[in-house]
Amino acid sequence: MRFADITGHKEIIRSLQGLTEAGKIPHAFLFTGISGIGKMRTARALAQYIHCKNKKDGDSCGVCPSCLQHQKHNNPDLHFVYPIVKKEGALISKDMIEQWREMITDYSYMPPEKWNELIKAGNSQPAIYVNESEEIISRASLSAFQEDFKIFIIWLPEKMRPEAANKLLKVIEEPFEDTIFILVSNNDSKILPTIQSRTQRYNFKPLSEIELQELLLKTGVDPDMAADAARISEGSLQKADEIACHPEELIEFSNLFKEIMRAAYTLNAKSLKELSETVAGFGREKLLRFLTYCGRLIRENYIYNFQIPSLVLMTQEESNFSSKFAPFIHDGNVERLSEEIARASQDIERNGNSKIVMFDLFLLLSRLVRTPKANTLPGFENI
């Protein structure tokens, strides 16, 4: 991975180039921002640049022995750390190295749900365990094999168990001179403040709609689909690509959202029960994606009422539904609706019974969506 392969983040890249060229590389970086915007790609490009033997024009050459090893994921002084599930004897990252190589090769924008699928996490929550910190300390204590620096790229440090984080803190506090850590986080609020304070932080911004649309068009995506995907992906190329190349799930979620809201408004408990069983059958990861979708649609329908199209992140099909549904999402219920959907997501993450959680949520929605504003609203049963 080279800096030339990175979309956006030009200011961050210039800063990283300058630090490397000046020989002032900090011992620990923190790259943070939403998922799917290129943080891991930038971390890999930085590691390759640091190790490159023939740097030119602020980038790695791509052809020296070190660069070739990076491209084949076998440079002995580059170490990846990532969350795993303890199964079949797996205790540390390298026990799932084959799945990891597939992940960074085929899904370089790092969707966490894809990683969960590759390692067959099921209902288990991947984590970085204390064994991993012990392995990091052991490797860091050794001299670099062939490069000037050993580099550890830690993906999702927020997944560290407390005992693992505390052990890592010790080695970051008292680093070895030839060791660099690059922490790549989707949620830095869950990282120990003491770890954060010992890193040089870079906040990655979402990609622009124009950048996303241009990238999708280059891959042959239909212009209308590229425009829709770029608009609703919230700056994440991973999401935009998923929407554009696999729109089936988006269509499925959209249709279900409409059915649920119609049944909720008409107090059709039988339909709500059937719909709750349908979505509960998705499996944990897909169900969480559906709840995220519902949360987004609630938010966007509230914004729709302001009549400022540039603020609304919806497809044309979603907008057609919202033209009649949006008035039912207002100051009197939008906060509670969002809270209840978020609470249901938390319950599913904690392995709550999906059928019970979803039926309870849909019954709550049926009450909240009927909460009137000051003025009387017409029904939308026939949307």
Q: What is the pLDDT of residues 7-18, one digit of tens each?
A: 889 999 999 999
Provide the token pair at 126. 């991947």
- At 268 the pLDDT is 93
43 or 111, greater pLDDT: 43
Distance (Å, whole) CA 199 – CA 85: 27
- Give the bridge partners for 81, in sequence order: 154
Joined tokens for residue 60: 């790695």
Q: What is the mean pLDDT of residues 252-263?
A: 93
Residue 281 CA to residue 148 CA, distance in Å, equals 52
Mean pLDDT of 126-151: 90
Which of 145-159, 160-174, 367-381 reaches the highest mean pLDDT?
145-159
DSSP category for residue 153: E
What dihedral do alpha carbons 277, 279, 281, 287 form, nearest 10°?
-140
Whether 382 shows a pLDDT value over 70: the answer reads no
Q: What is the pLDDT of residue 375?
A: 52
Name which of 57-61, 80-84, 231-235, 323-327 the model is least confident about: 231-235
Q: What share of the chain in percent tops pLDDT 70?
A: 97
Contacts of 330 (CB under 8 A, 6+ apart): 302, 305, 373
What are phi and psi for residue 321, nearest 5 degrees?
Answer: -65, -40
SS3 54: coil
Q: What pLDDT score was predicted for residue 229?
A: 85
**Residue predicted with more confidence, 159 or 248:** 159
Residues 6+ apart with CB under 8 A from 195: 157, 165, 168, 169, 172, 183
The answer to whether residues 151 and 25 touch, using CB atoms and an 8 Å cutoff, is no
- The yes-or-no verdict on residue 233 having pLDDT over 90 is no
**pLDDT confidence of residue 381:** 52
What pLDDT was estimated at residue 190?
92
Please state the pTM of the whole predicted model: 0.76
pLDDT at residue 376 in the model: 46
Q: Which residue has better confidence, 375 or 14?
A: 14
Confidence check: pLDDT of 74 > 60: yes
Which tens digits make up the pLDDT trace of 206-221?
Answer: 988 888 888 888 888 8
282-325 residue pLDDT tens = 888 789 889 999 998 999 999 988 888 777 777 778 888 888 89
The answer on pLDDT for 177 being more than 90 is no
Query: With 60 as the cut, is the pLDDT of residue 383 above it?
Result: no
The amino acid at 101: R
- The whole-chain average pLDDT of the chain stands at 89
- How much is the average pLDDT of 115-140? 88
